Amino acid sequence: MSQSSNANRIQKGILAIDKQMFDFIENEVLPKVGVDSDSYWSGFEKVIKEFTPRNKALLATRAKIQQQIDQWHLDNPAKNGDIDYPAYKAFLQEIGYLLPEGDDFKVSTQNVDDEIAHIAGPQLVVPVRNARYALNATNARWGSLYDALYGTDVISDENGQEAKGGYNPTRGAAVVAYAKKFLDENFALASGSYTDATGFKVVDGKLEVVQGDSSTELKDAAQFAGFVGEAENPTGILLKNNNLHAEIQIDSSHPVGKDDPANIKDVLLESAITAIQDCEDSIAAVDAEEKVEVYRNWFGLMNGDLQETFEKGGKTRTRKQNPDREYTTPDGGALILPGRSLLLIRNVGHLMQNPAILVDLGNGQEEIFEGLMDGLITPLLSLNDLKGKNELSNSRKGSMYIVKPKMHSPDEVKMANDLFNAAEDLLGLERNTIKIGVMDEERRMTVNLKEAIRQAKERVIFINTGFLDRTGDEMHTSMNAGPFVRKGDMKSQAWQPAYEQWNVDIGLETGLQGHAQIGKGMWAKPDEMKEMMESKIAHPQAGASTAWVPSPTGATLHSMHYHEVNVADVQDSLKSRERASLDDILTIPLAKDTNWTEEEKQQELDNNAQGILGYVVRWVNQGVGCSKVPDINDVGLMEDRATLRISSQHIANWLHHGVVSEEQVMDTMKRMAKVVDEQNAGDNGYQPMANNFDNSYAFKAACDLVFKGREQPSGYTEPLLHQARLDLKANTHC
């Protein structure tokens, strides 16, 4: 069974620790990081005693405020999609939802790695429970531009450029032309183009680009950062623009390089500057067994020794973390650049509890709050990196970066900040060694963002927006206000652009530039890279120093946007603009009327239900928390719990207001379950839903997310998902 009996637990004071968890920490971790067992567990117990009641009180405040808002909307019904906004705003202030704003201040976070403080670029988010994915993300600091272009739809399939079969030289030529155009635009030559180049050499510390019988140099000589090999015949040329590097790789024996006039075989781009190893939305970890997998992988990353062996193409391969990269500087010195993304770890938020450790505070045993457990264990696992004792370093500044999701208020940020104080004291770390990323994905967090940052002003290194979770909370908060617009119309509502701008405005006002990232959300379509290249440049143009990408390939392509846009200059230009409108942010995206056709309503239901089922069936049955799920049109979307939250809350809202009926929704769920089963027919580990609705844990969980959606705290999906997976494991592993 997944939830261990007390016979399988080790008692440490008030803590009853699952033996799998205890053995991992006691035998694998504590000896390696040099921490005494008794002092660690006694300190752990003390922190849990102090913070569990605080955690409960904050959740009770969430529930109370939601009840008050629900009642206000019942007492003040909307008319034609409009409410009395002055009265609504005054009410939100009265109940402490909308807090007064204090004096101006600037954050003072110290010892922040350049990847966060000074380098604008893509950010990968990856489930840390999957070692192979975790390593892929870590190694995505550098990516082949040629491979990223050749393997995606950025390069058209037209005019004989198809990517099918073996290597297509016509497509390859299009890739090379695209890459050289990128070099021309971002590392311009004094004359001519990189297409004219026939060689490279370094003469007296300057880059000389040979063009047949003549030669030229960089228009901006400062962009030449180094080289690999001999100065007269280098195998690599390192360039730098907007704090990002690109390496022109030269090899006359390479299949591509031998046919290039300058023997260029590839252009290597600095890509995923940072990567978030995720313990939260993109994983399923419901008990000690699964949490140990999460912790063990992070421990391996922090020690530099994580490896994963797997089969690919009929061969056994072993993946491990890349070493750093070495170059000769123009003046003949040595330059070492990181070979790996700077890693952050996203801990679990304040809501969830986990049976890995049971706690007895005098009223019987209860599951530990998972965010408290993460906050005390993940820093322990990072100690060797913090102390410079690991094989491959992560932070060169001696800092640890924890992203904290789903916080709702300054008080909740204060508790996270205090928890990190306690973790530092427990582990003998200097104050503010642990940094915090504050995710702006809950409505109450948005409107109080400045005060939330104030609570962690010596520790904050990250704020970002997340449209999906933020929309889910938007709908749940105002569930009683009326029916919402269709999901596809959400981004055109007044609150959404105001929310995105507000996040940047507050970040710049509070001095995050030079101390912390200001981030934007995920590109969810990993196969639609041409569309990403056309639209995601809007993120750096909006002043965001990072934005999320779903794959290493996506990171390489998105990195080109940060060469085109100097984010620091954009941020400087935005500091004087008027802050986004709070009134717009508070404008609820209600439908002015609900006279959609039956076909339109059914399309909305089909799309939402199919996405819910496609994600839930893998989460519950296979423990897969993030995967490429085909949508209703068979377009692969990277799904995690945020997408599930918005879809389930949307159906719950339409049900609540009679736009659709329970019978219609259930019929849709059953019909879409068959569609999802068919989409997964090629997966040998897949367990169909439609052949046994009554006994499918996944199908029942998906239905509960909709039919019990209004009851779920803040509309979160975790409680129902966790219970369904625990039930399934209990009934299949006994």
Q: Return the active site residues.
A: 346, 640
Q: What is residue 269's three-state secondary structure?
A: strand
CB 560 within 8 A of CB 182: yes
Selection from 312, 260, 309, 381 nearest residue 132 by Cα: 309
List phi, psi (to 5°) of 550.
-90, -5
Own/partner pairs for 18-25, CB < 8 Å, 24+ apart? 18/287, 18/288, 18/355, 18/356, 18/357, 19/288, 20/288, 20/289, 20/292, 21/288, 21/291, 21/292, 21/356, 21/357, 24/292, 24/295, 24/296, 25/377, 25/380
Selection from 239, 121, 227 nearest residue 568 by Cα: 121
CB 289 within 8 A of CB 20: yes
d(C-alpha 590, C-alpha 479), whole Å: 10
Q: What is residue 175's three-state secondary structure?
A: helix
CB within 8 Å of 193: residues ≥ 6 apart: 180, 184
Amino acid present at 200: F
d(C-alpha 129, C-alpha 726), whole Å: 17
CB 224 within 8 A of CB 218: yes
CB within 8 Å of 637: residues ≥ 6 apart: 524, 525, 611, 628, 629, 630, 631, 643
Helices (H), 350-494: 370-381, 383-386, 410-427, 443-447, 449-454, 467-477
Residue 714 φ/ψ region, left for φ over 0, alpha for ψ in the -120 to 50 degree band, beta for the rest: left
CB 251 within 8 A of CB 268: no
Output the CA–CA distances (angstroms, integers) from residue 325 to 236, 270, 277, 682, in the order listed.
11, 11, 22, 41
First to last CA, the chain: 5
CB 2 within 8 A of CB 733: yes
List phi, psi (to 5°) of 241.
-150, 130
CB 516 within 8 A of CB 463: yes
The Cβ-side half-sphere exposure at 346, using a 13 Å CA radius, reads 27
DSSP β-bridge partners for residue 547: 520
Q: What is residue 266's three-state secondary structure?
A: strand
What the block records as the tokens of 199 is 């060689």
